[in-house]
Amino acid sequence: MAVATSPAVAGKLLINEPLSRYTSWRVGGAADQLYIPAGLDDLRLFLQSADAEQAIYFIGLGSNLLVRDGGVRGTVVLMRNVLTEMKMEADLVYAEVGVTCGKLAKFCAKEAKQGAEFFAGIPGTLGGALAMNAGCYGAETWNVVNSVTTINRHGELNKRDAAAFIASYRHVDIPVQGEWFVAAWLNLEVGDAHESAQKIKDLLATRLASQPLNLPSAGSTFRNPAGDYAARLIEASGLKGYIIGGAQVSDKHANFIVNKGNASARDIELLIKHMRETVLAKHGVAMQQEVKVIGEYA
């Protein structure tokens, strides 16, 4: 790892930086460049000066992401602890994309805004939740989005209404490619702060009881098929506890893959493939992957 400097930007630019430090699975090779912006204006400057031919990836907590062992050719922009403002704007909740979903849920509860409690169960940032329409316990991100601000490769900002985006289960169609989210306004109902806080507490207790939070994972591996649950299909296929290398199908929640301590990205990707093929062979269901995969093989 090396640190590079640029007179145009105030953020930190790391060269050949291992991404295992920034993903919840704790695996993955190095990025050619990892950039940590100093703020929105700094991010704009960086994008304006970036090589137009170079691939750019944005990550938050790296909690729904598998980086292959060969690393990432291009630049990874790390948004954790960057763009973390939250405030009320009239009746809307304004939040920037570096805010963790857990903090967002608590902020909305404190402001007596109900409908955002489910964010407490999403182990990522608002940026990731917007990008994949994350959700849990019957609620989804784009159900509460009023509008968003995006940034493009030229550092230009655009504000867009939620109606410009087509959101479906764990997927969002972005009307203009090459844009990333930087902030959102959420439209929530007036509620009771104490009641919302209790809902969050109950949700976190349910999550702790049902998910393997003591080991590195990336949350749900597969989307739930229509009318069924991925975890049920995986468990019914006899895969609970199945191991490849250092990666294991969790014996607590079958739709989670955990890193037992020495897993490689290859172990995890092979296990995902085996789970998909086994469920298809035994139940005739082609499961769709929820985890995003980037990078090159070692």
| Packing angle, helices 193-210 and 101-110, rounded to 10 | 150
The verdict on whether 24 is a catalytic residue reads no
Size of the chain in residues = 298
Which of 220, 237, 250, 264 is the catalytic position?
220
Task: For residue 139, give the 3-state DSSP assignment.
Answer: strand
Q: Which helix (H) or strand (E) holds 243?
A: strand 243-244
> Which position among 44, 96, 111, 170 bears the catalytic label?
170
Is 281 strand, coil or helix? helix
Q: How far apart are the first and last CA of the chain?
A: 18
Strands 171-173 and 166-168: antiparallel
Tell me the C-alpha distance between 251 and 91, whole Å.
Answer: 44
Other Cβ atoms less than 10 A from the Cβ of 6: the count is 12
CB 116 within 8 A of CB 109: yes
Instruction: Confirm whether 290 is a catalytic residue.
Output: yes
Burial 145-160 (b: 16+ CB within 10 A, else e): bbbbbbbeeebeeeeb
| Residues marked as catalytic | 170, 220, 290
